[in-house]
Amino acid sequence: MSDINYNLEPVDEKPKKKGPQRGTRYKYDPIIEAFLESEHSLVRVEGTGREANYLSMQLKRVLDRRDVNDVAVSVRDREVYLEKT
C-alpha cells in the first residue's frame, strides 16, 4: 500500500459559506428591470439565445427573488412574454 502525505490542522470553526452578496445583479435581472421601467404592459423577450422554457424559468426566479408579484411570465409558441398584471 502506498503512503500519502497529509497534515491535520485543528481549527476553532469552519469559515462561512460565500454566496452572492446582497445587491448582486444576476444575468437576467436587466431584462426584468427594463420591463418594469418601460411603459409597455406586454412584451416578447427576444435575442437571448436561450430556449423559451429555460428563459421563462430564469425570469420567474428573478421575479421571485425580487418579490415582484405584478408581472407574469408565459411561453407561447416557443416565445417568452412578460405581462404586467
Q: What does the block give as the cell for 70?
A: 405584478
Q: What is the mean pLDDT of residues 27-34?
A: 92
Mean per-residue pLDDT over the chain, rounded: 88
Q: Nearest-5° angle of CA 43, CA 48, CA 51?
A: 95
Residue 6 has pLDDT above 80, yes or no: no
Rounded-to-integer distance, Cα 47 and Cα 3, Å: 56
| Residue boundaries of the structural domains of the chain | 29-84
pLDDT of residue 72: 97
| More confident of the two residues 5 and 76 | 76
pLDDT of residue 16: 82
**pLDDT band at residue 2 under the 50/70/90 scheme:** low
Rounded-to-integer distance, Cα 29 and Cα 58, Å: 9
Q: What does pTM read for this prediction?
A: 0.71
pLDDT of residue 23: 58
